[in-house]
Amino acid sequence: MKKTSTRLADGRELIYYDQRDDSVRDAVDRRPLDPTVTTSEVRRDPLLGDSIAVASHRQGRIYHPPADECPLCPSQGDRLSEIPDSSYDAVVFENRFPSLAGDSGRCEVVCFTSDHNASFADLTEEQARLVLDAWTDRTSELSHLPSVEQVFCFENRGAEIGVTLGHPHGQIYAYPFTTPRTALMLRSVAAHKEATGGENLFDAVLERELADGRVVLEGEHWVAFVPYAAHWPYEVHLYPRRRVPDLLALDEEARTEFPQVYLELLRRFDRIFGEGEPPTPYISAWHQAPFGALEEFEGVNRDDFALHLELFTVRRTSGKLKFLAGSESGMNVFINDVPPEFAAQRLREVASS
């Protein structure tokens, strides 16, 4: 992998990730852009104890442009985009309309391929490995920023999820705090560790899922399963068999196998609802240990956390979505219409030939 860092016309950082070491990336951003102005502010809720970001400048972000005006495609002639070069393998750049900025963290966009009509599932194993390496590199770089405590790599796919740009891409949020979901996991890990005399909760969960029959697919280094208490109609968790706290700690064997397992998982997601259905909308989310202090989670350190990916869809059946209504939105109690055992069986049935 070759990494080339440059700057866009408004000062934002852009990084090319290339498979070939002899790639040259010297194109200049020719757009007449003013410096970016953000209003991002993090506010803490005193009752719930969590934090929210207020970012009013995001109201002006680009919304469903036509394909020939996509800002994530390479620049061609006089059609200038966020990527100055006329081609790329994978690229990461600072979001022009970030939810988090400055002392409140950082937001980046990850373009998986220059092919506007592709999806992550269409990538080759070599392309998917390059994206994994980019996620890992960005996790490392962002973790060293003084305002960053946790790095979150994710992909929103599909209009039903709220995606405003159709080009295959994901995002990276670098938070200035430990996110509420991660904090809940760490508290559960701490309580389990104390109650069992040192057993790791993530290890116990993986062992249970391997025994209970909700495994979707297995590799030598990765396991994908539908969790016992899945929140979403079709939800799969992907774990490395060897527990590690973050992407940085994956060994070469796990990195090599990841594209095979993950691409197969995404392709099965697109087959859940049968032939002729539109692509399955999904969220794919990497969970990594925070880089900040963990004193509030007594007895827990970073190595107690298990890196894993959670993949889920808001579609519950053909043509119908799972909405977060009163119980989910008002009380954070999910109602799942699809039994996890059925979901696991369905994802096994649609295995590619």
Which residue numbers are catalytic?
169
Contact 200, 242 (CB under 8 A): no
- Say which amino acid occupies 310: E
User: Which residue has tokens 């989310």?
Assistant: 285
Question: End-to-end alpha-carbon separation of the chain, Å?
Answer: 31
To which residue do tokens 């709220």 refer? Answer: 162
Q: Give the Å distances, CA to CA, from 44 to 9, 41, 179, 188, 330.
A: 34, 10, 12, 22, 19
Q: How far apart are CA 94 and CA 110, in angstroms?
A: 9
5 forms bridges with which residues in the sheet?
A: 15
Determine the Cα angle at 135 with ends 131 and 137, to 5°: 110
CA distance 273 to 317: 7
Alpha-carbon span 143 to 137, nearest angstrom: 10
Contact 177, 209 (CB under 8 A): no
Q: Does residue 15 contact residue 4 with C-beta atoms inside 8 Å?
A: yes
How crowded is residue 315: how many other Cβ atoms within 10 Å of its Cβ?
Answer: 24
Report the C-alpha gap between 291 and 144 in whole angstroms: 9
Q: Which of 1, 12, 157 is nearest to 90 (CA)?
A: 1
